[in-house]
Structure 1
Amino acid sequence: MNLNLRNAIISNVQGNNQQELQETILDAIQSGEEKMLPGLGVLFEVIWQNSSNDDKQEMLTTLEQALSK
C-alpha cells in the first residue's frame, strides 16, 4: 500500500473553515503527541508556500525570537 502522508493530511483538512482549522491545530499542539507533528509540519508547509516574502520574514523573526529564549 502506497500511502502519501502529505496528501492524506491535506485531504483530511481540505475544505475546513477557519474554526475547524484552528481546532485541528490546537488539538495537535495540546495533545503533545509526537504523532501529530507531521500533520503540523504539512500545515506549516502549506502556509509557507502560500505566504508572501514579508510574511515569511515575519514567521522567521517570530521563530528566531521564540527559540532564543
Structure 2
Amino acid sequence: MADLPNLPDNPQDDIEAYVGLAQESAEEQARARGWTTVRSLPPGAIITMEFLSGRLNFEVKDGTVHRCWQG
C-alpha cells in the first residue's frame, strides 16, 4: 500500500477576521500566518469542490474580501 501524502495542516487562524480587508492585505496576512495556498475568487465563480488542506479561499468584490472559507 502506498504511503499517505504529507498534507499541511490548517493554521490556527480566525478566518472571519479576513472579511472586510483589502485583497492584497488579506493574501499577505494569510501567507504570513501559514496558509500554503491562498485563492481569491470573484463572486459566483465556478470552482472545484475538492477539499485541500492548507488552502484559504477569499471571495473578493471591488478589491475587498466579502467571504472566506477553508479548503
Per the normalisation by structure 1, the TM-score is: 0.29
Larger radius of gyration: 1
Give the structure with the higher percent strand. 2
- TM-score, normalisation: structure 2: 0.28
